[in-house]
Amino acid sequence: MASRDLTDHFRRLIRATGPISLAQYMAEANAHYYSARDPLGAGGDFITAPEISQMFGEMIGSWLADLRARAGASDAVYVELGPGRGTLARDALGVLAKAGDLPDVHFVEGSPALRAAQGELLANASFHQDVTSLPTDRPLMVVANEFFDALPLRQLVKTAQGWRERMVGLDGERLVPVAGDRPMDAAVPSSCAELADGEIIETCPAATAIMREIAERIARQGGAMLAVDYGHLSARTGSTFQAVARHASVDPFVAPGTADLTAHVDFAAIAEAAREAGCRIDGMAGQGAFLMALGIGHRAAALARANPAEGESILAALKRLTAPDAMGHLFKVLAHGAPGWPVAAGFANAEMG
């Protein structure tokens, strides 16, 4: 679906008020981008794991089923953050339904267009604008796939005058990244103080805040969470801000509102937020290792036996989801749970603190 390009809007704003933060730019551009369209799939802008194969959602369904059974928590609700088309929820909840387990379904989704798509697949889902209105009286089992990468990113850049916020300004008519005026040295961890000029560090305050809020609820109400995204397990420097449209990388400062803006997720930071909020971290791993530990190889073999004509495409999907040079390494998985809950499956060294 065509979407209005926000360049003129940002030009006017910047002429009136001066450069705006990268976080504001990303928040407005993505809200606009997602509000009116379904960007997923071959005919859209990008493809996610649940859209590659039903096996992805099924593995998460068996992860949930195992944990629900061991916790004896048949009253726990299913929560998904940014469910896209609802494909992951449908495939995961299908696994639970086979065992007669039909949890209430709560979707945190900002986009009216995607809510409509999700409502078609999951007719009984309740919708939430943000996590604050989720149920307070039952355990929460929360799943988020490629949700945190779309949240507004903050970047700080080292200049000859010290650390500055990275903003979006104008060079003639062009939107360009510029360094802000205000000193930001106090916001930079001491480990980064000596970095060279031009170096960039990233934080995502929205991701940390949402994680903290959910983890507080889980610690209080019971439950667990599985977050899957592309990113890194420990903090690093450099910009990972990027834009994707029609399955290709594009300039994130051109035609805002018409491409998906994302950044790598700092898993160390969101795990730390969950821990501080009172949850136990059950594991962090590459997506490939996690899915293999849950038995995706066996599932692929069974599906291929049942549909010999599709054997090759099933194997191709398995590789895409798990191979180190595809999504297996770049994508990471973080699981955490309430202190009284059983430790989640899927991680070799089950308990990490």
Residue 119 binding ligand SAH, by CB under 6 A: no
Each residue 23-42 as x (binds ligand SAH by CB under 6 A) or -, in order, gives: -------x---x-----x--
Residue 230 binding ligand SAH, by CB under 6 A: no
Residue 344, phi-psi category: left (phi > 0), alpha (psi -120 to 50), beta (remainder): beta
Which part of the chain contacts ligand SAH (CB under 6 A), choosing from 5-13, 108-116, 316-324, 327-335?
Answer: 108-116
Residue 177 binding ligand SAH, by CB under 6 A: no
Cβ-based nearer residue to ligand SAH, 145 or 240: 145
Give Cα 20 to chain centroid, integer Å: 24
Which part of the chain contacts ligand SAH (CB under 6 A), choosing from 78-86, 132-140, 299-307, 344-352?
Answer: 78-86
Residue 82 binding ligand SAH, by CB under 6 A: yes
Each residue 247-286 as x (binds ligand SAH by CB under 6 A) or -, in order, gives: ----------------------------------------
Site for ligand SAH in 125-154 (CB under 6 A): 145-147, 150-151
Whole-angstrom CA distances from 138 to 103, 208, 220, 327 are: 11, 23, 10, 34
Residue 84 binding ligand SAH, by CB under 6 A: yes
Find the shortest distance in angstroms from Cβ 87 to ligand SAH: 6
| Contact call for residues 231 and 332 (beta carbons, < 8 A) | yes
Binding-site size for ligand SAH (CB under 6 A) equals: 20
Residue 44 binding ligand SAH, by CB under 6 A: no
Cβ-based nearer residue to ligand SAH, 44 or 278: 44
Residue 167 binding ligand SAH, by CB under 6 A: no
Query: Which residue's Cβ lies closest to ligand SAH?
Result: 82
Find the shortest distance in angstroms from Cβ 295 to ligand SAH: 21
Residue 51 binding ligand SAH, by CB under 6 A: yes
Cβ-based nearer residue to ligand SAH, 117 or 184: 117
Cβ-based nearer residue to ligand SAH, 46 or 169: 46
H, E, C per residue of the chain: CCCCCCHHHHHHHHHHHCCEEHHHHHHHHHHHHHHCCCCECCCCCECCHHHHCHHHHHHHHHHHHHHHHHHCCCCCEEEEECCCCCHHHHHHHHHHHHCCCCCCEEEECCCHHHHHHHHHHCCCCEEECCHHHCCCCCCEEEEEECCHHHCCCEEEEEECCEEEEEEEEEECCEEEEEEEEEECHHHCCHHHCCCCCCCEEEECHHHHHHHHHHHHHHHHHCEEEEEEEEEECCCCCCCCCEEEECCEEECCCCCCCCCEEECCEEHHHHHHHHHHCCCEEEEEEEHHHHHHHCCHHHHHHHHHHHCHHHHHHHHHHHHHHHCCCCHHHHEEEEEEECCCCCCCCCCCCCCCC
Residue 83 binding ligand SAH, by CB under 6 A: yes
Find the shortest distance in angstroms from Cβ 287 to ligand SAH: 12
Which part of the chain contacts ligand SAH (CB under 6 A), choosing from 102-110, 189-197, 302-310, 331-339?
Answer: 102-110
Residues that bind ligand SAH (CB under 6 A): 30, 34, 40, 48, 50-51, 82-84, 88, 108-111, 114, 145-147, 150-151
